[in-house]
Structure 1
Amino acid sequence: MKMKYTTLFIFLFFALNSCDKTVDNSPVEYFNLSDVKLLDSEFKNAQKQDIVYLMALDPDRLLAPFLRESGLEPKVESYPNWENTGLDGHIGGHYLTALSLMYASTGDAEMKERLDYMISELKRCQDANGNGYVGGVPGGQTAWDEIKSGEIRAGGFSLNGKWVPLYNIHKTYAGLRDAWIYAGNETAKTMLIDMTDWMLDLVSGLNNEQIQTMLESEHGGLNETFADVAEITGNDKYLDLAKKFSHHEILDPLIEHHDELTGKHANTQIPKVIGYQRIAELDGDSVWSDASLFFWNTVVNGRSIAIGGNSVREHFHPKDDFSEMISSVEGPETCNSYNMLKLTKMLYPTFGNNSKFIDYYEKTLYNHILASINPDNGGLVYFTPMRPNHYRVYSQPETSFWCCVGSGIENPGKYGEMIYAHTDQSLYVNLFIPSVLNWEDKNTEVVMETQFPDEDKVYLTINPNEKTEFELHLRYPSWVENGALNVLVNGKEAKFQVSENGYAVVKREWEKGDKVELVLPMKITTEQLEDGSNNYAFNYGPIVLAAKTGTEDLKGLYADASRMGHVAHGKMIPLKDRPVIVASADNLPSMLEKESGNQLAFQLKGLYPEQYQDGLELLPFYRIHESRYNIYWSQASKEELNDMIREVEQEEQARIALEEITVDKVGCGEQQPESDHFVKFEGSRTGYANDYHYRETRRFFSYNLKNPDKTGRFLYLKYFDSQYPRSAEILVNNKSAGTIELNGGDEDTILEKVIPIPDSELTKQELIFKVQASDQSSIRLIEVRLLTKNEIP
């Protein structure tokens, strides 16, 4: 098996001492969530806030789509937002998982009570359907009947005219599975198997090519869940179903170690890979497992940023150009990191308990996952912009039902999943989060106390019921220098070996009350953006530092129920006005001076422009909320500064000017912007060329543009030229607005055009923009905007 490990961790193989061959490196197992209880910390606080958020949600409103689609009378109306505009029911599935995880982690009886109620009501729906199916997909039965007959119309966000229905029902499958695995609900187990039998019947008449066509539409991790059903039942027919639901357009290049991810919708792909790995775990297929590892290495080591997240506007961008990561307000998506952590958890025991997986897990858990929940009210974040001086938007329980709310309510219930792991003779301490472990097999309690990262010491109290011998494997993080880690047992320096997989190993007979002190010296390091541009983030140990830069114009800080409410639409501060560090790249760590006090804080000096001449305070990013902030810092020497400012100003002026006159916009071919504008189409396809997504059609496609203040008067179109004859008519509310003709240009050339909206439609608050193809061909449209002025800045 080929494995490509980053050199970042090679020193761990040789650190401190030669490896002791007697060290236990056997595969680890995880503890049950119920075995780990969090102690007071920011993680514990986030868990408490999440419980309040879960209790604020009304189960009957989440159940309404399921009751409606099974012919039963809903008790109340559905929630708004994504829950009543096509993705109805998806949060209900996430809610099952969130309740199950939180019950397992805390033992909270109210979580179990709500879960049991949800399951009983969903069982009513499944019984009413009579075929094993349960789901909230609006008018879903029509789509399922068409698919069973072999009529399949699939695209990235659409399957037979429905908004990602397979993705939607995957949340129900996963919720039923988790209600059984984490909360022991027998009814959920039976329902899960019956619903999987329904899927077996649905595709029984389809060939592999038809199923692969169906998988062109986002389908979550159905392959993973079907593999789980195979393990639960011991029946291989479900494992065969899991393999059929594994998308080979993504899998096959990964097997060949080819990175073909650029331009693809990021979070559509990650759950597929989780499924490949799950299948490999059950059938021992090292090829599929190696493909999953290659994907992980590709994303972690070439497509991720300092906080551990990835993607811009939900898509993987070119590996050699991260410029949109800095310019866009739609930075890494929380769902992506949720799923990357899930994949990391699976790979860790498969590939030798290597601490490199924990290094990534820790980085992403602190800097993206923990940072994505508001510590005061549990509000959840969709996009985390890296654009300097921008901000995040938080969800509200009554208005916001995005995918990142679904995964977001799950996260706090499983904070304890990776803190510890074990073999028969070893305990692994992976993360430094205050907690109590009940190691039942060893009749041993382990208490971890720490103020990490505000201090660099971790204290463990080992409490076996009687003397017991085992190896204590303490993670040797990549951010601790070779030779700097220290271990004390009962106040005395302890001898330890460093294992090949990156742990300091202490083997002894443990007695009740034994004290272990782990010293983890941290220092300031910088992390350059992956494309090699002069943008750097500061880390203290694994913690990303950021600065608060203002609280002006935080428009939509708490999201309303609109389809695009998860995007921070407030004013974009021009990039020319961002703070720049005037120093050589080698000197960046020395620009920070640690402040005194109990909590982590630094002063950053040497900043331009003048408004930052007194410096800025840097804090752990996960502690910055309801504020504009700066994570990535541009660096320049004095000689380079003027040229950089002039270049940025020229690029940014047109961008800002266009945004200021934009009422609404759609990125064509991009999944979420299109679904948020209720795209409709026939004979249409999406593509990706020259770093742009686009949509074209042989017949038509349309978007619903919002014009709430009736100020939109012009359409702005951005599209590719063509050397072959292409033409399309542009319509607004079925009124002709003009025609675009192409013939003889360069296919790579980008064109722009502004078209007046027909006078009769200027007073409408919703404008249906439509591209009607002529002669079976149309333009490749990149972007459409509704403008207040007839200008192309």
Structure 2
Amino acid sequence: MKAFFAIALISCSLTVKAQIPSKPDAPGLKLFPIKDVHLLPSPFKSAESVDLKYMLAMDPDRLLAPFLREAGLPAKAKSYTNWENTGLDGHVGGHYLTALALMYASNGSPEALKRLNYMLDELKRCQDANGDGYVGGVPGSKELWAEVFKGNVGAIGKKWVPFYNIHKTFAGLRDAYVLTGSQTAKNMFIKFGDWFVKLSTTLTPEQLQTILRTEHGGPNEELADLYALTGDKKYLTAAYSFSHKAILEPLEKDEDKLDNLHANTQIPKVIGFKRIADVSGDNQYDEAARFFWNTVVNKRTVAIGGNSRRELFNPANDFSSMITETQGPETCNTYNMLKLTEALFLTDATSGYMDFYERALYNHILSSQHPTKGGFVYFTPMRPGHYRIYSQPETSMWCCVGSGMENHAKYAEMIYAHDANNLFVNLFIPSTVNWKAKGVVLTQNNTFPETEKTSFTVTETKSGQFTIQVRYPSWIKDNGLKVTINGKAFAVTKQANGYVAIKRAWKKGDKVTVDLPMQTKTERMPDNSNYEAVIHGPIVMAAEIGNKDIPVLFADDSRMGHAPAGKILPLQNMPMFVSTATTNDASFIKPVGNQPLTYSMKGLVYPEKFQSLKLVPFYKVHENRYVIYFEKETPQSFEVIKQKLAAEEEAAAKLAAATVDVIYSGEQQPESDHFIESENSATGVTRGRQFRNAKGWFSYKLVDKNKEGATIRLTYLGNERNKQFNILVNDQFIGKVALDGTNGNDFFTVDYPIPAEVLSKAMNGGLTVKFAAAEGSTTANIYEVRLLKK
């Protein structure tokens, strides 16, 4: 095992002041303190500035309200709504500590530091009032934790993931200390750690493992950090106790048991496994973390570097739901995968880790914030033709808002690393790094990826000889990377770790230029199904197809406001790739004139109406529907599809002419427009189509101004069985439904005529259709309600 110097706190990348001995084989690789790396103008610097504005638009007193309430102290403002007053109260406040600390360290913002200190002072009042080290906003905290300490671990399930919630505060206190040196944060962090230790020694191992079945973040990471900080083994023992064995043990055996598990529940656990390995030398925990990373990155990650649909890991051999679902990769997953990648890189500095890091950073993280208005994305659909929703500071309190504020405050984190004599250049982001121990300042300038090169200038040096290690990315052809030093060619040798070592006695003003020629390629889904994405170098390309039928772009404070629930466009109507190429269709993709990173797909993309579509970097696509993955067909199979499309379009035109009104059940805006009412009702998605059902009832008001309506047409899925319900129009019974599962496995429709006497009594054409479950049953999943003419 390669252990790294044990005092580096992984998730925030700065060295704490306390030290414990490093392992004999420790390579000593570290990241630079984030305060010693400064971003220069680039999309990343712009994103940092937009993030700061968002953070300052938030009210610390509203974030603090849940903590004060639970400590029995008067709040200074009302709690935020959304997730912050419906059970996950306080979780954003924990993220806010980390985000403020990162922003101060990276950006130097005095307001960020002022707010951080204010948050810490107020949270200290809460911790002091609680009296036991605990600080959190979980509703009913005192009663909950009293029950848990008594051994009633079932109480955890009656709250909304309380350990996940308080883990954010635990991590925030650590980060506030490590990033700013706050002694207040340090003392609070240790006291909170003691609370976790007390819990771990009060409960039995079996009780703790029962608790860990529920999403709990990764407190094992912070407890291992406390061991590194203090040298007290009680924290390491607690870190082991808070490690979920049901996930750990298969990973230790290199067994992939991840299919359909909630993705972001697992990733923080594994970050904790890795941190325990780093501070203790535990080879099994280290292997578990490596195997998990390899499995997720190589088998479960799509082109943008993200993973999961509907928050669950895809089955490794079936990514069809990644295409059909609208709830694509969750940003929190990638936030945590980058943390894990960082930890693994620091013990094994190979370029493969940074290839993934770069892909995810540009294409998921950078793309997940609106570039001018601010706001963070939760789900990034891979479904062709869908779109994304952005948060707002006063309405949106999702997990991906908390991690989002962190994401765009730490772009400087992984650009560089160093050991005693090597400076690693990992990412090609314009920036300056101050290697204080060597008296070296290195400045990187470029307009990458719009131009395919970067340069480094030694602007200060006192050390003379050292080695600059430049990453040789996987997306460059063999022998494609070129290096010149002060205008003279340098003989490039790609080392086994995927870096190019440039060792010399450096002088002030020395300039290194690195050519980074990018290839364009197509890349299939991880299951090798016939959907392709276009990648140029590390940049994922996408086609914008307009913003029609997007009801909401910036979220309200509804429970599911983060989900892009607008109209779902039929997959068969999306642009497709048509060619006989069996591997790479990139030969059809050509640059467009003087427009950097803009490509034509003419001759490859069909139907004909899409021939003028252009590909642009996905991180530049906002407020639009888009296509990242294109269905791949041959000319022969496409002919069949064209005939099918023509028939479908003709049928759609006839249906539109016969339709008076239509409701896409389960979709927020159509239901709102039709004044939905319900009791004991729920929504969901099957094969990319949303539905609504009820154990009670639900109703809509159909619009029929001209009194043309005569029939209700409902859409069901054929295999539904044991569903019995009644249909009423204006409170008059019109039909009884009993589905028995005998209608195949496809969607089908049934027409229900509305009696003439019901129509004749309708005032102003108003028709309220109601679906009421029979006693002991539920309604079917109803996907569409359509009012047809006579």
Q: Output the TM-score relative to the length of structure 1.
A: 0.82
User: Is the 2:200–2:242 contact (alpha carbons within 8 Å) kept by the matching residues of 1?
Assistant: no
Question: Which residue number in structure 2 is paired with residue 581 of structure 1?
Answer: 577
Structure 1 CA distance for aligned equivalents of residues 423 and 480 of structure 2: 22
Q: Give the corresponding residue for 1:256.
A: 253
In structure 2, how many angstroms separate the alpha carbons of the residues matched to 1:135 and 1:415? Answer: 28
- Alignment-derived partner of residue 240 in structure 2: 243
Structure 1's 192 and 769: CA in aligned 2 closer, same or farther, altered over 3 A? farther
Q: CA deviation at 1:194?
A: 1.3
Q: Distance in 1 between matches of 2:716 and 2:578?
A: 39
Q: Who is 1:564 aligned against?
A: 560
Task: Judge conservation of contact 1:470–1:509 (CA < 8 Å) in 2.
Answer: yes
Counterpart for residue 498 of structure 2: 502
CA distance in 1, matches of 2:108, 2:321: 44
Q: Which amino acid aligns with 2:629?
A: Y
Mapped pair 1:471 → 2:431:
no
Determine whether 1:52 maps to 2:48: no
2:154 is paired with a residue whose SS is coil
> How many residues end up aligned between the 2 structures?
716
1:542 aligns with 2:544: no
Deviation at 1:595, TM superposition (A): 2.1
1:251-400 aligned at under 5 Å gives the runs 251-350=248-347, 352-400=348-396
Given the alignment of the two structures, is residue 413 of structure 1 paired with residue 409 of structure 2, yes or no?
yes
SS for the counterpart of 1:413 is coil
Name the CA shift for 1:565/1:29 in 2 (closer, same or farther; >3 Å).
same
Match of 1:87 in 2: 88
Deviant stretches of 4+, over 6 Å: 646-654, 677-681, 701-711, 713-722, 726-730, 737-743, 748-754, 767-772
Q: Does 1:401 align with 2:397?
A: yes
Aligned to 2:601: 604
- SS of 1:304 mapped into structure 2: coil
Instruction: Indicate the residue corresponding to 1:151 in structure 2.
Output: 152
How far did 1:160 drift?
A: 3.4
How do 1:614-693 residues align onto structure 2 when only pairs under 5 Å count?
A: 615-644=612-641, 661-664=663-666
1:294-326 per-position Cα deviation (integer Å, ceiling 9, x unaligned): 110111011111101011111112222111111
In the alignment, the residues of structure 2 paired with residue 392 and residue 485 of structure 1 have an alpha-carbon distance, to the nearest angstrom, of 36
Q: Confirm or deny that 1:209 pairs with 2:209.
A: no
Gaps of 5+ in 1: 3-23, 667-676, 682-689, 693-700, 731-736, 757-762
Deviation at 1:353, TM superposition (A): 0.5
> C-alpha displacement at 1:740, in angstroms?
12
Report the counterpart of residue 458 of structure 1 in structure 2: 454
Q: Provide the rounded CA distance (Å) in 1 between the counterparts of 2:146 and 2:543.
A: 54
User: Which structure 2 residue ranges, 5 or more long, are not aligned?
Assistant: 3-24, 669-677, 704-711, 727-732, 753-765
Closer, same or farther in 2 for the Cα pair 1:588/1:751, shift >3 Å?
Answer: closer
In the TM superposition, residue 497 of structure 1 has moved relative to its aligned partner by: 3.1
2: distance between equivalents of 1:719 and 1:73? 56
Q: How far has the Cα of 1:570 moved from its partner?
A: 2.1
RMSD: 4.0
Q: Is the alpha carbon distance of 1:646 and 1:179 closer, same or farther for their aligned partners in structure 2, counting shifts above 3 Å? A: farther
Deviation larger for 142-151 or 171-180: 142-151
> 1:423, 1:751 → 2: CA distance?
60
User: Compared with structure 1, are the counterparts of its residues 471 and 372 closer, same or farther at alpha carbon in structure 2 (3 Å cutoff)?
Assistant: same
Distance 1:717 1:230, change over 3 A: farther
Distance 1:703 1:301 in 2: 42
Query: How far 1:57 moved relative to its partner?
Result: 0.3
Change (3 A) 1:459 1:769: farther
Task: Decide whether aligned partners of structure 1 residues 335 and 262 sit closer, same or farther in structure 2, where only a CA change above 3 A counts.
Answer: same
CA offset digits 1:110-158 (Å, max 9, x no partner): 110000000111111111212211111111222212211212227xxxx
Judged with a 3 Å threshold, the aligned counterparts in structure 2 of structure 1 residues 707 and 255 are, in CA distance, closer, same or farther, namely farther
Q: CA deviation at 1:68?
A: 1.1
Which structure has the greater CA radius of gyration? 2
SS in 2 for 1:442: coil
Kept in 1: contact 2:461–2:506 (CA 8 A): no
CA distance in 2 between counterparts of 1:739 and 1:270 reads 48
CA contact (8 A) 1:702 1:771 kept: no
CA distance in 2, matches of 1:365, 1:374: 15
TM-score, with length taken from structure 2: 0.82
Corresponding residue for residue 687 of structure 1: none
Task: Quote how far apart the aligned CAs of 1:392 are.
Answer: 0.9
1:441 partner SS: coil
Q: Aligned with 2:234: secondary structure?
A: helix
Q: Within 2, Cα distance between the matches of 1:282 and 1:583?
A: 53
Tell me the distance in 2 between the aligned counterparts of 1:423 and 1:678.
62
| Contact 2:424–2:471 (Cα < 8 Å) also in 1 | yes
Letter aligned with residue 352 of structure 2:
K
Aligned to 2:481: 485
Displacement, 1:664?
3.1
Work out the CA distance in 2 between the residues paired with 1:277 and 1:691. 37
Could you tell me which residue of structure 1 aligns to residue 34 of structure 2?
Answer: 33
User: Does structure 1 residue 222 correspond to structure 2 residue 222?
Assistant: no
Q: Secondary structure at the match of 2:544?
A: strand
Query: 1:4-62 deviations in whole A, cap 9, x for unaligned?
Result: xxxxxxxxxxxxxxxxxxxx994521110001000000000000000000100000011
Query: For residues 218 and 768 of structure 1, what CA distance do their matches in structure 2 show?
Result: 36
C-alpha displacement of 1:494: 1.2
Distance 2:399 2:354 in 1: 25
1:665, 1:784 within 8 Å by CA — same for their partners in 2? no
Question: Corresponding residue for 1:64?
Answer: 65
- Aligned match of 2:550: 554
SS at match of 2:429: coil
How far apart are the structure 2 equivalents of 1:381 and 1:623? 14
Residue matched to 2:421: 425
Q: Which moved more, 1:255-264 or 1:33-42?
A: 255-264
Deviation by residue 1:240-290 (Cα, 9 ceiling, x = unmatched):
111111111111111111111111111111111111111111110111111
